[in-house]
Structure 1
Amino acid sequence: MRTMSYRRVERLAMLATALEAGGSLRLKEAAKMLGVSEMTVRRDIATGDGSLTYLGGYIVAGQETPGGMGYLFATELASHTEKKRDACTLAASLIEPGDTVFLDCGTTMPHLASRIPTDLRLTVVCYAINVAEILCKKPNLKVVLLGGIYHPSSATFSSEEALGTLANIGINKAFISAGGLHADRGVSCSNFHEVPIKRAAMQNAVRRIVVLDSTKFGRVKPAFIGQIDDFDTVVSDAAVPAPWRETLPPGVRLLMPAP
C-alpha cells in the first residue's frame, strides 16, 4: 500500500511539473508520459490534494493563482446538470444554418455545444477548452478559438488580440453564460477576466442571449456583465421562479421549456 501511495504522489508531482509553465495537458498525453492508463491518471487526480483538475479531456491546475477569484470550476461541473441540459436544448433550437454564433465559457455551455446538430453548417467562436473540444468533433462547424493567457479557474483564454478578433467578426447570436441574474444588479459572473470578452461578443452580436439555469435567478456575482435589458432573450429551464416570469424588463423575452 505504501509503495502504491508513493507512486501516486510521484505521478502527481510529474504532472504538476509538466503544468508549471501554465496551460493544460491532454489526458492521453499524460497517461503516455507516466506510462499508465488514462483511468489511473484520473484516479490519481481524484484522490490528490486538489491542486490538479481533470475537465473536458484536459488536466489543468485546480485553481487560479493566489489573488484570483477562487472560482473552482470543477465543483460546478456536476451541479444542476438536468437544468443546464434543458436550458441548452432550448437555446440550441435558436441556432440556424449559416449562423455565426459565440459560445461563452462555464459549465453550462458544453451542454449547448453538444446539442448543435452534427449536420448543421455554421461558424462558432469560443474561448474555452471544454467548449472547443466538443465543437471540434463536429465536421460541419468552422471553429474560431480565441487565444491568450490561460485561466484554469474557468478553462478559458483571454488577451487583447482576442478582443481584436471579436471586433472583426459579425455574430448573429451571442450565447452568454452567467452565475447570477438580479433585478437591480443585472447579469454577473465570478471571473473578471471573462467580462471584456463577453461584452465584446455582445457588442458585435445581432442577438444577445443569456443562458443560465433557474438557480441563478436572484443571485449576484462579483463581476458585472450588463443589465438584463442589454439582452433580448433569457433562456432557462422550467423551474424559473414564478415572479421572474412576469418581471423581466420590457423587450426581454424569457424562453423556458413547456411544463
Structure 2
Amino acid sequence: MNERSEGRLMRLQHALGQGGSLRLAEAAALCGVSEMTIRRDLAGSDGSLALIGGHLMLAGDPRHDPVYDLAVQRDRNAEAKRRLCERALATLEEGDTLFIDCGTTLAPLAASLPDDMSLTVVTYALNIAEAVSKRPGVRLWLLGGVYHASSRSFSSDDMSETIRGFGINKAFLTAAGVDERQGLSCFHFHEVAPKQAAIATAQRRVLVVDASKQGMVRPARFAGLEDVDQVIAEEAGDGD
C-alpha cells in the first residue's frame, strides 16, 4: 500500500472516530478521489475499516455487529435508554393500548409503566412481556408463535393480522438502524411484519432510539422516517 492510500485510510479512520458511518460517495469526496479508489484502498488495508451496504464504518465498533444478541445488547447504552424511556412514559394517557417493540431499548419503558393508569400492552417480545407482567393493573397480550432466542421474540404467519385487530393508541418502535435516506431497519426479517402492522394500525407511531443507531443501515428495512409521528432520541448534552 502506498503512502497516499495510507493517508486516505487514516483520514477516514479519523472521520469515523466519533462513531457513525460514511456513505461510500461521502468517503470518496472527503478524500478527493473516486469511489473505486476507496474500494481499492479498503481491499489493500488491514481490515480496520469495513464497507457494509454502501456505508463505510470502523470494523471494530460494537454498534456494527453483524448479528444481534439481546443478552449482549442489554447493557449497552443502558443509561441513555433509561432516559429515553422516561420521555416515552410522559406521553402515556389513561386507557391507552400500547404496542411495545422487541429489543432492549424499550425494556425500561415496560418495567416502569405506571401503576395508577389503566393500560393494555401488545408485544411479541418475551423480555417486554416479562417486565409488563410485573406491573399490577396492566393488561398484557403476548403474541406467540415460533420463538427466536437471539431477540427473545416470536413470529407467526398471522401476527400482522392479529396486530391490526387491536385498537392501538401508541406504537413504541425501535430500530437497529436509522438512516436519513435508507430509513428504519433491523437485524431480523421476522420483525418486519409486526413493526409494519403496528405502524399501519396505531394512532401515533413513536420511534425510540439511542445515538448508536444513527447512520446505521441493517439488513431488514421496515419503514421510512416519514412513517413515524415522533422520534425520541438523544439530545445535545445528554450524558454530559
TM-score (norm 1): 0.64
The answer on 1:113 being equivalent to 2:110 is yes
Equivalent residue number for residue 137 of structure 1: 134
Gaps of 5+ in 2: 1-65
Match of 2:146 among 144, 149, 156: 149
Cα distance in 1 for partners of 2:236, 2:152 equals 28
Q: Which string of whole-angstrom CA distances, capped at 9 and with x for unpartnered residues, describes residues 200-252 of structure 1?
A: 01111011111111221111111101110100100022348xxxxxxxxxxxx
Change (3 A) 1:229 1:125: same
Q: Which string of whole-angstrom CA distances, capped at 9 and with x for unpartnered residues, describes residues 87-138 of structure 1?
A: 1110111111101110000011111111211221111101111100110111
Contact 2:111 2:135 in 1 (8 A): no
Equivalent residue number for residue 185 of structure 2: 188
* 1:164-243 aligned within 5 A: 164-239=161-236
Cα distance in 1 for partners of 2:163, 2:154 equals 13
**Equivalenced residues, count:** 175
Contact 1:210 1:233 in 2 (8 A): yes
Match of 1:79 among 76, 79, 98: 76
Q: Secondary structure at the match of 2:71?
A: helix
Give the alignment's Cα RMSD to 1 decimal. Answer: 1.8
Identity percentage of aligned residues: 44
Q: Which string of whole-angstrom CA distances, capped at 9 and with x for unpartnered residues, describes residues 13-52 of structure 1?
A: xxxxxxxxxxxxxxxxxxxxxxxxxxxxxxxxxxxxxxxx
Cα distance in 2 for partners of 1:216, 1:194 equals 17
Q: Secondary structure at the match of 2:206?
A: strand
- Deviating beyond 6 angstroms after TM superposition, the runs of 4 or more aligned structure 1 residues are none
Contact 1:104 1:176 in 2 (8 A): yes
Match of 1:88 among 85, 89, 92: 85
How far 1:139 moved relative to its partner?
1.6
